Structure formats: C-alpha cells, structure tokens
C-alpha cells in the first residue's frame, strides 16, 4: 500500500454525518474529497469538493467515481460487496471486503466472533418459523431476534419472552434471514474504537460508557469509570478484532459488561456515534484517525486530554422551530456540532453536543440538564 499524501483526493462512499465529519477532519490535513451518494444535498456532499449522485450498486456511477479519486473509503457498512469489487478495478478501497462483509451481516459477525474465540451471546441463524422454534429450544428465553442485514438504532429487533406468539413475531421477518441471540444480563454498555493501518500499526481509544434511549444512543461518556484491568481487557478485545479483520481504518466494538466480564455485542468498520466526543476531547479525533489510516499514515495519538460527555440531538427537539442554540452555548465548555441534514424528523440524528469538564460526572450531569431543557421547550 502506497502512502497517500495530503493534496490527494479521497472518495467517500456515503453522504451522512460520519462522512461529513471525516471530510472536515481530512480537510485540515490537506486532502480533497469526492462523495458518492444517491440523494442530492447530502450532509457530506455539502463539505466535499464534489458529489457524484449515484446508487451504491450503480456500476457506471461507481466507475465514474473511482476515476476521479486516488483512494476510496466508506462511512457506513451497508454497501454491497460487489461495489467494492468494481471500485477495486481502478482504486484501492479501505476498509476491505473482509471487514465489510463480516460487519454488515449479524450472522457472519457472530460467527467471526465465535471462530476467533471472542466472547459473544449464544446465537443461531434462523430462516423460518420452525428454525426459530428449534433455536429457542436450544438458546432459551428471553432472547432477541434481529434482522441479519441492515439493522441500526434498534430497528429490526424484538425481544422474545416466554408466552409470546412466535408465529406473530416471525411474520415480520418472513422471507429474510434473522439472528436469534440469547439475552445478556449486563451492568453497562460500552464501546472501544481502535484503528489499524496496512502496516499493522494500531491505536486504541479509551473506553466509552454509553446509554441508550428508545434504542438510540443517548449519551457517551469518557473516561468510562471502570477499572484499569477491565478497560485494558476491552481494548485488547477490540485490537484482536481489528487484526482478525485485517482492518485498514477504524473499527468500533460495542460491548456489554457482565458479571463474567466482557461480551461483544456488535462491530462497525468505521467511525462510530459513540466516538464523536473525540473531536473535542482527544489528541486525534476518530475522524482524523480514519483518514490517516486509510491513507497509510502512522496513527495519531488516541490519548484523551479532557473528560467529556456527548449528547445526541434528535429531530424531535425542532418541534417548535430551531432549539435555543445561543442559550446552550452559554456553557463555555459545550461544543455544538450540527450536521445540516435538512428535515428534522423525529428520531433522526441532527447533531450532537459535547460537554467538556474537569470530570466525567459533571460532563454527564450538564448533558442531561441540556437534554431536559431541549425537551421542555417543545412541551
């Protein structure tokens, strides 16, 4: 892999906020960007040099895109593997096909974890009601049934408890593969973001403590408040996953903390919502890190310099018009990031606010107070 130096053009598959923030970080390094995105006026396209408006599986659009860039990367994993093959005819693409194919399908993801002896929930791939019934007989209840493909923010998931009508549950999945996972009792949800370049040089960020509301990430806090031993174990799991995927770029690993230690829940081969706080609180943000790694540069320091809490801002709080940003920014240690995504629909991630401070508890308290103000304003 040849090092891609500043001044080169990077192609970004995907026009969402992850691509937007990666481009903003890469701009500071001197790179140029072209985005491929099916919809016009995308969040990433607005800060790129150019946007190619084409479907992710459009061969002509992909080849036109590839002909204009020096290297390609992606901002989310729901890209057909065939699309990477088309791009790879003329340009290097990172992360590669292995990482993409494993992480975009929950069945392959769980099998990868099992094959690499990484702790995860017991699981079974099911394609019919009889297979679901048989899997429940082995795994037990409660359990969670998830779509195998294209799930995020809790979409395509249902908890199955004793006494539920399995035929009714399965009716929403009919014709599609799904993954049944045993229920995991946990005391907290966490994530680790780590990176790796083509030379095998790696970096790993401090552990992040996450909370969710209505299946959508609510707050992320770092430092995470666990023991140094537990944090090191979580980081080592993430690094082993990066090596197993032969990763070039970033991988975010979501974990549950249980009475028996860590259980890996999901993985994403890209920057991650829980890592947005790194923009303001770490030596090298996850977005700059992603650009450095796919370009073949050495990893930047992942050291945290300031405690932080990130609060997701959803479209719900635009109910009565734009929120009171001026009031929120009266907090001198609040950092507002808006994604310019257009229509603020309920549940849609429109931005985030990072609260910096002397300790994570104070940062979290201010984030929760801000969230309370945002929702009180729309009642």
Is 341 annotated in a binding site? The answer is no
CATH of residue 270's domain is 3.30.470.20
- Whether 52 and 192 share a structural domain: no
- Annotation-wise, does 11 bind a ligand? no
Which runs of E-coded beta strand occur in the chain? Answer: 9-13, 32-37, 50-53, 71-74, 123-126, 143-147, 157-160, 178-182, 188-196, 202-204, 208-213, 216-222, 249-258, 261-268, 308-314, 334-338, 349-356
Angle, CA 255 vertex, CA 268 and CA 311 arms, to 5°: 75
Q: Please determine, for residue 302, whether its predicted confidence score (pLDDT) is greater than 90.
A: yes
Single out the residue in 182, 209, 233 at which a domain terminates. Answer: 182
Is pLDDT above 90 for 175?
Answer: no
In a domain, 4, yes or no: no
144: closest CA among 256, 269, 9? 256
Region 254-272 average pLDDT: 97
Q: Confidence band (pLDDT; 50, 70, 90) for 151?
A: low
Query: Mean per-residue pLDDT for 205-220?
Result: 97
- pLDDT tens-digit series, residues 112-146: 999 999 999 999 999 999 999 999 999 999 999 99
Q: Is the pLDDT of residue 301 over 70?
A: yes
Q: What angle do CA 282, 288, 290 make, to 5 degrees?
A: 115
Confidence of residue 40 (pLDDT cuts 50, 70, 90): confident
Mean pLDDT (the chain) is: 96
| pLDDT over 70, % of the chain | 98
Instruction: Write down the pTM of the prediction.
Output: 0.95
Q: Tell me: is residue 157 an annotated ligand-binding position.
A: yes
pLDDT for position 152? 60
Q: Tell me: do 148 and 51 sit in the same domain.
A: no
Tell me if 265 is assigned to a ligand binding site: yes
Task: Tell me whether residue 156 is annotated as binding.
Answer: yes
In percent, how much of the chain has pLDDT > 90? 94
* DSSP3 helix / strand / coil % (the chain, rounded to 5): 35, 30, 40
Q: Is 153 annotated as a binding residue?
A: yes
First to last CA, the chain: 55
pLDDT in tens, 184-210: 999 999 999 999 999 999 999 999 999
> How far is residue 263's CA from residue 183's CA, in Å, rounded to a whole number?
11
Are 81 and 144 in a shared domain? no
Q: Known binder of ligand: residue 56?
A: no
Residues 155, 156, 157, 163, Cα dihedral to 10°: 130
Alpha-carbon separation of residue 346 from 15, 263, 317, 378 (angstroms) = 20, 31, 8, 12
Same-domain pairing of 51 and 157: no
b/e for 273-304, b at 16 or more Cβ within 10 A?
bbbbbbbbbbebbbbbbbbbbbbbbebbebeb
Number of domains in the chain: 3
**365: which residues sit within 8 A by CB, 6+ positions away?**
none
The predicted model gives 325-346 an average pLDDT of: 96
pLDDT digit string, tens, across residues 78-102: 889 899 999 999 999 999 999 999 9
Q: Is 152 annotated as a binding residue?
A: yes
Phi/psi at 236 (nearest 5 deg)? -65, -35
Q: Is residue 303 part of a domain?
A: yes
- Asked whether the predicted pLDDT for residue 174 surpasses 90, the reply is no
**Nearest alpha carbon to residue 82 among 55, 107, 64, 108:** 55
Tell me which of 51, 79, 94 is where a domain ends: 94
Residue 132 lies in a domain: yes
266 is in an annotated binding site: yes
292 annotated ligand binder: no
Give the Cα-Cα-Cα angle 229, 232, 234 (nearest 5 degrees).
110
106 marked among binding-site residues: yes
Residue 336, domain extent: 188-377
| Residue 154 annotated as lining a ligand binding site | yes
Asked if residue 344 and residue 358 are part of one domain, the reply reads yes
Same domain, 38 and 61: yes
Residues 146, 291 within the same domain: no
The verdict on 178 and 217 lying in the same domain is no
Residue 161 in any domain: the answer is yes
Q: Which of 77, 94, 111 is the last residue before a domain boundary?
A: 94
How sure is the predictor about 287, in pLDDT bands with cuts at 50, 70 and 90? very high
The answer to whether the beta carbons of residues 180 and 130 sit under 8 Å apart is: no
Residue by residue, DSSP assigns 108-159 as HHHHHHHHTT--B--EEEE-SHHHHHHHHHHH-SSEEEEESBS--TTTTEEE
Q: Does 206 share its domain with 268?
A: yes
Cβ pair 223, 307 in contact under 8 A: yes
Q: Does 315 belong to an annotated binding site?
A: no
Report yes or no on 104 lying in a domain.
no
Average pLDDT over residues 294-304: 98
Predicted local distance difference test score (pLDDT) of residue 154: 56
Considering the domain architecture, whether residues 210 and 291 belong to the same structural domain is answered as: yes
Q: Output the domain CATH number for residue 133.
A: 3.30.1490.20
Q: Indicate which CATH number applies to the domain containing 62.
A: 3.40.50.20
Specify the pLDDT at position 153.
57
Q: Is residue 36 in some structural domain?
A: yes
Question: pLDDT at residue 181 above 60?
Answer: yes
189 assigned to a ligand binding site: yes
177, 212: one domain: no
Q: Is the pLDDT of residue 155 over 80?
A: no
Confidence at residue 150, expressed as pLDDT on a 0 to 100 scale: 63
Residue at 112 is within a domain: no
The verdict on residue 107 lying in a domain is no
User: Looking at the structure, do residues 353 and 217 belong to the same domain, yes or no?
Assistant: yes
Residue with tokens 């890190």: 289
3-state SS assignment for residue 74: strand
Question: What is the phi/psi pair of residue 155, to 5°?
Answer: -70, 140
């Amino acid at each position: 892999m040849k090092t891609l130096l500043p001044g080169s053009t990077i192609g970004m598959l995907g026009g969402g906020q992850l691509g937007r923030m990666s481009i903003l970080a890469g701009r500071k390094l001197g790179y140029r960007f072209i985005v491929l995105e099916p919809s016009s006026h995308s969040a990433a396209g607005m800060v790129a040099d150019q946007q190619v408006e084409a479907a992710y599986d459009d061969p002509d659009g992909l080849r036109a895109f590839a002909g204009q860039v020096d290297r390609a990367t992606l901002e989310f994993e729901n890209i057909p593997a065939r699309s990477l093959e088309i791009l790879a005819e003329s340009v290097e693409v990172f992360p590669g096909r292995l990482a993409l194919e494993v992480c975009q399908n929950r069945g392959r993801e769980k099998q990868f974890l099992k094959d690499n002896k990484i702790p995860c929930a017991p699981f079974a791939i099911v394609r019919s009601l009889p297979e679901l019934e048989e899997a429940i007989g082995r795994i037990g209840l409660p359990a969670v049934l998830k779509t195998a493909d294209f799930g995020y923010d809790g979409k395509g998931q249902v908890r199955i408890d004793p006494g539920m009508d399995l035929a009714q549950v399965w009716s929403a999945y009919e014709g599609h593969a799904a993954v049944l996972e045993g229920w995991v009792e946990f005391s907290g949800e966490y994530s680790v973001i780590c990176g790796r370049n083509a030379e095998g040089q790696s970096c790993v960020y401090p552990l992040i403590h996450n909370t969710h509301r209505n299946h959508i990430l609510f707050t992320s806090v770092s430092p995470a408040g666990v023991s140094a031993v537990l944090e090191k174990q979580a980081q080592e799991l993430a690094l082993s996953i990066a090596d197993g995927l032969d990763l070039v770029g970033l991988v975010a690993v979501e974990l549950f903390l249980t009475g028996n230690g860590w259980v890996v829940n999901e993985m994403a081969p890209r920057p991650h919502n829980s890592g947005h706080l790194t923009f303001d609180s770490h030596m090298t943000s996850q977005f700059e890190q992603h650009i450095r790694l796919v370009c073949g540069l050495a990893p930047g320091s992942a050291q945290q310099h300031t405690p932080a809490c990130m609060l997701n801002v959803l479209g719900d709080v635009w109910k009565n018009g734009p929120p009171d940003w001026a009031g929120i920014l009266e907090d001198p240690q609040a950092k507002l990031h808006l994604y310019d995504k257009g229509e603020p629909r309920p549940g849609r991630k429109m931005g985030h606010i990072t609260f910096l401070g002397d300790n994570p508890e104070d940062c979290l308290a201010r984030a929760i107070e801000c969230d309370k103000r945002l929702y009180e304003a729309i009642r």
